Amino acid sequence: MSAPASPTPRRRLPSADRRQQILGGSERLFTTQGFEAVSMGDIAAHLNISRPTVYAYFTSTADILGELLDLRLTEFEERLAPLLRDLNAQPRPFATILSQLIEERPLLTLLQSGSGPAFTERRLAVFHDLETRLQNHVAPPGGRGRTPYLLTCLTLLLQATATHAITANLGPAQVAALADTLDRFVQAGLQGTAPGQT
């Protein structure tokens, strides 16, 4: 009878690589099992490393989630920045933003992976940040009109529409039609917030 195979030896990774490994493995677990269902022990087992190793880099799953969202948001902001700079020059600016948001599948999937109070608060903070960035580019001079309320609605609409496009697995033509519809809707709303409008 042959001896049982020995377990795969754990590799010693440089600190930065180990941190990235933990982040990547955690994101996979959060998005497939739900954030609240994943423990630090689950992450360690998934990566075949010890729990103390995970705790050496992060204090909790909330700590891991925060870093993941910050990383995904930074990537999104880098891609969004050129669009926001030229927002007024684009013929369909909000369709462009929606199309970009739909490309952010990892961010959106991560944002939908939890439902607890702390997670919900963190998700709202992400979209509040997006709302603030949009407001800097589309608010009328002097801040008159209903634009702040419209932008709150727009941010929620962008989130809901992009999430729907991903979960429904819409094709490129359907996404383009959806983006067009959103753009017309938003532009009509912005025209209603011009100075002198009530």
Q: What would the pLDDT profile of 79-124 be if each residue is shown by its tens digit?
A: 877 777 776 677 777 777 777 777 788 888 888 888 889 888 888 8
Calculate ∠ Cα 3-8-11, nearest 5°: 150
What span, in angstroms and rounded, lies between the C-alpha atoms of 112 and 130? Answer: 16
Average pLDDT over residues 144-153: 59
3-class secondary structure, 4: coil
Residue type, 26: S
Task: Say yes or no to pLDDT of 19 above 50.
Answer: yes
Alpha carbon separation from 60 to 20, 22, 64, 66, 140 (Å, rounded): 16, 12, 7, 10, 43
Range of lowest pLDDT (38-42, 45-49, 101-105, 130-134): 130-134
Please state whether the predicted TM-score (pTM) of the whole model is above 0.75. Answer: no
What average pLDDT score do residues 48-63 get? 96
Confidence (pLDDT) at 77: 78
Q: By percentage, how much of the chain surpasses pLDDT 90?
A: 26
pLDDT score at 8: 44
pLDDT at 197: 47
Residue 89 and residue 108: Cα distance in Å, rounded?
27
Distances (CA, A) of 157 to 94, 107, 153, 179: 11, 16, 6, 11
Question: Which stretches within the chain are classed as H helix?
Answer: 15-33, 40-47, 51-57, 61-85, 93-102, 105-111, 117-138, 147-167, 172-191
In sign, the C-alpha dihedral spanning 76, 79, 85, 88 is negative
Least Cα distance to 84 among 129, 133, 132 occurs for: 133
Q: For residue range 23-41, list pLDDT tens digits in order.
A: 999 999 999 999 999 999 9
Given the structure tokens 């022990």, which residue do they identify? 41
| pLDDT confidence of residue 193 | 54
**C-alpha–C-alpha distance, residues 122 and 60, integer Å:** 15
> Residue 165 has what pLDDT?
77
142-155: average pLDDT: 59
